[in-house]
Amino acid sequence: MSPASDLLAQTLAQPDFHPRLPQQRRLYEAAKAAIHQQLLGAGNKLPSSRDLARDLGISRNTVIAAFEQLGVEGYVTSALGSGTYVADLQAHSASMRGGFHPQQDGAGEDGAEVAPLSRRGQELTVFAAGPRYEIQPFAPGDADFSSFPFKLWQRLQNRVWREARADLLDYGQSGGYLPLRQAITEYLRISRSVKVSVEQVMVTAGTQHSLDLCAQLLADPGDTAWVEDPCYWGARRVFQANDLLLHPITVDGDGMALEPADLATNPRLIYVTPSHQYPTGAVMSLARRRELLDVALTKNAWILEDDYDSEFRYTGRPLAALQGLDTGDRVVYMGTFSKVLYPGIKIGYVVAPPQLVDAFKSALYDLQRPGQLMVQAALADFIALGHFTTHIRKIRQIYGARREMLRRTLVHQLGTHAHGVTISSEESGLHLVVELPAHVDDVALEKLAAESGIQVKALSNYYLAPPVRRGLLVGYAYCTPEKIAYYGRLLASVILSGVRR
């Protein structure tokens, strides 16, 4: 056993060294600690992942993942084929400190440090959600894409590549691969009651890019955008990056609830998730939908309907889209394949109202130069051959069962309304909301849960205005039943400790 293996093995053998974290995370923490304490010095070569896995008695994939994370964060460096070395942190931080030379003479006035980022850049960075380095139990928003049919997809993909059509290597012109746009059109008509012809459908690289396109085409910097409060972070980020003024509108059990004070403002964009409000899960009532369409018409605003996970309804028929009610052509409808298939597929779509089709098509091409037609072609086949419907049915069943199990576990531990705790009973989506009494600090509870290796999210953090409700978002789609049983009990005890405090 090499000295480095030995050192790491000793650390990992300590019973109080992050006992609840997964192996990969423990190894990462052990190595990071050793590097910070200079027990592993700069330039030291680490054992190979194969040797280290053997020495520690863990899987090689675990070691590789830990190494990757260390590499990502700059603790180690590796050269192709020649091993992994401890990085020189001193040199790195010195260059980080010394690298930026704000101008200090002449025009620079009183030598004040000039911010390297723009104003909006600073806002974006300060409030960054930050990447998830690994998915921990109950992280909301994550689907279990390990159930993705790898072999089938590979077969379809190979069929497309065997044809070797050079035109599918080009940029996606005119809104994307036509057969995919046709398949999306059919799907939206039948499953979502969207009023759509194929010309209106444009394939994008996912919802973030759909939103960016809408913001750039339909709003100018300084314009107002109405957002739901609480709201999906990703949408907020894109609007901020476009320098829009965000006007939060409180969400209740029937979705976005407009007040007279809201109606006094003049939005250019209205961002809503009517089928399944993110993150509360509320379904917008028919009356509210009609009202919103009227308001958009009166105020000449565009409604951006983000129908991100309507496929996950575990009982009853899926709800029709807001767009289907729109007689004034004020709704830009958008969806994604990231939730049903896998996040990294990066294929979403926009349905533009007829009068915006030409502008969207030309801006999509000019600004984003869409591509990945090979993937689009494989996906078109996947849908046309019925696999999409089968896959939705399969994961809907899996997620429905997991949801039910999580709910039962929590209710069993917490009671239905005991301690002022309410567990959402809405039968859809990829997470449920545990609502907490107003005095409970849900952000503190999120931190407490994280110490037990549970990645729930505090509802407060999704608010732009002072939070009206407190709670935790608990994702279940990614968790196996065993994990739900174990971590569910753990989470209940965390919640109880917070509520009783």
List binders of a copy of itself among 190-209 (CB under 8 A): 197-199, 205-206, 208-209
Residues 6+ apart with CB under 8 A from 435: 421, 422, 423, 424, 459, 469, 470, 471
CB of 358 to a copy of itself, least distance (A): 7
Q: Is 384 in the site for a copy of itself (CB under 8 A)?
A: yes
Site string (354-383) toward a copy of itself, x via CB under 8 A: xxx-xx-xxx-xxxxxxxxxx---------
Distance CA 122, CA 100 (A): 16
Between 225 and 421, CB nearer to a copy of itself = 225
Q: Is 82 in the site for a copy of itself (CB under 8 A)?
A: no
CB 458 within 8 A of CB 142: no
- Number of amino acids touching a copy of itself (CB under 8 A): 119
Element (H, E) at 355: none
CB of 428 to a copy of itself, least distance (A): 22
Element (H, E) at 225: strand 224-229
Q: What is the CA radius of gyration of the chain?
A: 25
Residue ranges in 111-140 that form contacts with a copy of itself under rule CB under 8 A:
114, 116-121, 124-125, 128-133, 135
Q: Is 258 in the site for a copy of itself (CB under 8 A)?
A: no
Between 343 and 453, CB nearer to a copy of itself = 343
Q: Is 3 in the site for a copy of itself (CB under 8 A)?
A: no
Q: Is 73 in the site for a copy of itself (CB under 8 A)?
A: yes
Between 226 and 440, CB nearer to a copy of itself = 226
Between 253 and 328, CB nearer to a copy of itself = 328
- 267-272/245-252 β-pairing: unpaired
Pick from 234, 400, 453, 481: which binds a copy of itself (CB under 8 A)?
234
Pick the stretch among 3-11, 29-37, 219-227, 485-493 that binds a copy of itself (CB under 8 A). 219-227
Q: Is 453 in the site for a copy of itself (CB under 8 A)?
A: no
Cis, peptide link before residue 279, omega less than 30° from 0: yes
Distance CA 73, CA 80 (A): 18
Phi, psi of 204 (to 5 degrees): -120, 175
Pick from 112, 146, 287, 315: which binds a copy of itself (CB under 8 A)?
146
- CA torsion 273-278-280-281 (nearest 10°) is 60
CB 206 within 8 A of CB 217: no
Beta sheet of 470-475, edge-to-edge order: 422-423, 431-436, 470-475, 457-458
Query: Tokens 């994702």 identify what position?
Result: 475
Residue ranges in 152-171 that form contacts with a copy of itself under rule CB under 8 A:
153-154, 157-158, 161-162, 164, 166-171
Q: Is 241 in the site for a copy of itself (CB under 8 A)?
A: yes
Query: Tokens 């990071």 identify what position?
Result: 32
